[in-house]
């Protein structure tokens, strides 16, 4: 059973549009959710993260919305740029340890 799910698997938007990437989870003990951005040939890099005590986290054009009751979160990328084209992973962790549980990723393509 997948503990962290992401949708859609792939997403294409035009430059300047808002891309919305979705993530849901099963384990109610998860309390920290980092989003990673990965370009081809590179490892995942932390983009933005949120803890379960917050319902929103904003960093520039990137915003996480978190709904604890529904166990859902989403990453919004406003004013999308071609350079944002990458695979985005939602991950989750709890206080039991340091391991991250990853979703399957969303491959974002931003067309100029």
Partner 1 sequence: GPKVLQIPSHQIIDMGQMVTLNCDPVSNHLYFYWYKQILGQQMEFLVNFYNGKVMEKSKLFKDQFSVERPDGSYFTLKIQPTALEDSAVYFCASSLHGLGVNYAEQFFGPGTRLTVL
- The footprint of partner 1 (CB under 8 A) covers 2, 4, 32, 34, 36, 41-46, 49, 51, 89, 93, 95, 97-105
Shortest distance (Å) from residue 32 CB to partner 1: 5
Q: Residue 63 or 89: which CB sits closer to partner 1?
A: 89
CA dist., res. 39 & res. 26, Å (int): 27
Closest separation between CB of residue 90 and partner 1, Å?
A: 10
Contact 48, 64 (CB under 8 A): yes
- To the nearest whole angstrom, how small is the minimum distance from the Cβ of residue 16 to partner 1? 27
Decide: residue 61, CB within 10 A, 0-12 exposed, 13-18 middle, 19+ buried.
middle
């Amino acid at each position: 059973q997948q503990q962290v799910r992401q949708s859609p698997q792939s997403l294409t938007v035009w430059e300047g549009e808002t891309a919305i990437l979705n993530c849901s989870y099963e384990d109610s003990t998860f309390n920290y959710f980092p989003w990673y951005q990965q370009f081809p040939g590179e490892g995942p890099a932390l983009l933005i993260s949120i803890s379960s005590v917050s319902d929103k986290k904003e960093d520039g054009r990137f915003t996480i919305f978190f709904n604890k009751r529904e166990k859902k979160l989403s990453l919004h990328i406003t004013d999308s740029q071609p350079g944002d084209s990458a695979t985005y992973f939602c991950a989750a962790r709890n206080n039991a340890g340091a391991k991250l549980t990853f979703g399957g990723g969303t491959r974002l393509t931003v067309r100029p």
